[in-house]
Every structure is written in C-alpha cells, then in structure tokens.
Amino acid sequence: MIDILLKLLGNGTWAGIAAIGFSIIFNVPKRTLTPIFFLAFCGTFTKFLAMNVGFGIIISSFFGAIVVGCLTLYVARHFYTPPLIVSIPGVIPMVPGIFIYNFILGLFNLGSGNISDDPKIGNFIFFTTNNGLKAFFIVMGLAIGVAIPMLLTRKESIRGIEHHKSLGSNKKKHLKKQIQ
C-alpha cells in the first residue's frame, strides 16, 4: 500500500515538474507556476490512482483531465488568469508520448516497405493501429475532460457575449430595458 502511494506521489511530482518546464518555455506568468505544478500533480495522481484501481489508461486520463479542469476554475479565478494558461500545462504531462512515438515509428516502417516480406505483418499493423487509436482517444479524453468543467460552469453563452459586444455603447441601456 505504501509502495503504491509513494509511486503515485512520485509520478505526480515529476508531472508537476514537467508542467512547470513546459510553462516556462511558453512564458506563462511566474505567479501561475505553483498552481500549474499543483494541477499537474493532482491530474497525474488521479490518472495513476484510477489505473491502479483497475481502470484503463484512456478512462484514467479522462478522469485526470476532469480533475485538472475542475481545479482550473478555482485557480483561474484566484490568480486572475485565463483558464487555458493553467489548464493546458496541467494536462501536458498526461499526453501519451510513447503511444504516439510507437504509432509514428510503425507508420514509417510500413511506409518504407522494410517489413512487407515479414510473415508477422498482421501483428505489426495491429500494434501500429492499436498505438494510434490509444493515443487518439487519450488526447481526446484530455481535451474533453479539461473542457467539460469550463463549459458547464460558463455563465453566459457565446451568442450572448457576441450580442453584448455588438451593442457597443448602448449596452447599459439595453441591459436596463431587459431588467425592467
């Protein structure tokens, strides 16, 4: 039990460090580095906890992204920063690099014709397709998981925002008429 907890804490810590590195490369405000570490830690901790409980990597990544998305709402308000500034670096460590790498490597090998005479080409195609589909669904789960909390808690629709912008200086008058 302690071994699993230490492994989860280690994975979360390394994910937080990776998220900070990514954030520094893309020049996020310094005040957001600590919350970005916290978001990446919590998301990765949740992902690996779900995997240890028995969920697959796709669903576990989705759960981790939902945790990042929910915590982003608080962090963005508290640190006065756009949600994307803290949420995207928080999920970057959960991007499935090894699956993407194996998929691209398999595509190159298939395209080069080096394995066309191999009797196990069916297994190789299965391996390549499996890695590509896993990578695709994990990335989709990350994107949807981060977006859902933000979309569900949005107070105003995009159409309403565009409508208010089009009103310009008559905005206050229009809002008073709606209230009355």
pLDDT digits (tens, 9 = 90+) for 19-69: 999 999 999 999 999 999 999 999 999 999 999 999 999 999 999 999 999
Domain of residue 44 covers 2-155
The answer to whether position 168 is within a domain reads no
The answer to whether position 140 is within a domain reads yes
Higher pLDDT, 61 or 158: 61
Of 12, 5, 58, 73, whose CA–CA distance to 37 is shortest? 12
- Residue 107, pLDDT above cutoff 60: yes
The answer to whether position 151 is within a domain reads yes
φ and ψ at 54, to 5 degrees?
A: 135, 0
**pLDDT in the model for residue 16:** 94
Question: What's the predicted TM-score (pTM) here?
Answer: 0.80
The answer to whether position 180 is within a domain reads no
- Classified as helix, coil or strand, 52 is helix
Number of domains in the chain: 1
Of 59, 55, 131, 43, whose CA–CA distance to 94 is shortest? 43
Beta strands in 7-119 (DSSP E): none
Tell me how far apart the alpha carbons of residues 157 and 69 are, in angstroms, rounded to a whole number: 19
